[in-house]
Amino acid sequence: MTITTRPVVSRELIARYQRERFIRGIAEACMESGYSAVTVADIVAVAGSSRNTFYEHFAGKDAAFFALLERARDDLLQRVDEACAQADPGFTERVDATLTAALEWVAAETPFARALLVEAPAGPERCFLVLWELVDGFVMRLRAIAPADTNAPAPTAELVVGAVTSILRDVLVAGDPSRAPGLASSMSAFVRLPYLTEGQSL
């Protein structure tokens, strides 16, 4: 007689899975109702879990939302860093790769993108700071790859990243994130334009 044993699943793995369900649950709940209207009951319902299990992982709705935003920020920055590292070393190629990765992420991970770019200001101050850290991260990355001989004014990176962030927010608010990847070419031209030197063209 053959005895079949079930594989042992560690408590750590179960806890990680449960936490992931709650993070995705609050992301989807926020996309449906907006952060201000979301309740713990909504998060639990979307996650298909219980209130007791939720409070084993988070102190409340704000803590879950903060975890969601940190996850979204880190995921997006990792995606663009990987894309930029794999691109050819030219400024145009790196901008193209970075924007393509970011826009594809917005389309593929819409609940996370909307939470980060649209809903973050509705949360506690520390939640808004996650969005600020994302923007600042993109500013530093743009400065790092910008041409050394540029005559662009010092605040150029902040202005460019702020404008791109605003456009993405508008796309998400309009409820049409699937069109985000199609903006890559025009956004790339917009980002690179202030860094052109005399005689260069897009």
CA 164, CA 74: separation in Å to the nearest integer? 18
Q: What is the pLDDT along the chain (202 residues), one digit of tens a residue?
A: 566 656 666 888 888 899 999 999 999 999 999 999 999 999 999 999 999 999 999 999 999 999 999 999 999 999 999 999 999 999 999 999 999 999 999 999 999 999 999 999 999 999 999 999 999 999 999 999 999 888 888 899 999 999 999 999 999 999 999 999 999 999 999 999 999 876 666 6
Model's pTM, two decimal places?
0.89
Q: Give Dmax over CA atoms of the chain in angstroms.
A: 82
Domain limits of the chain? 11-195
The CATH code that applies to domain 11-195 is 1.10.357.10
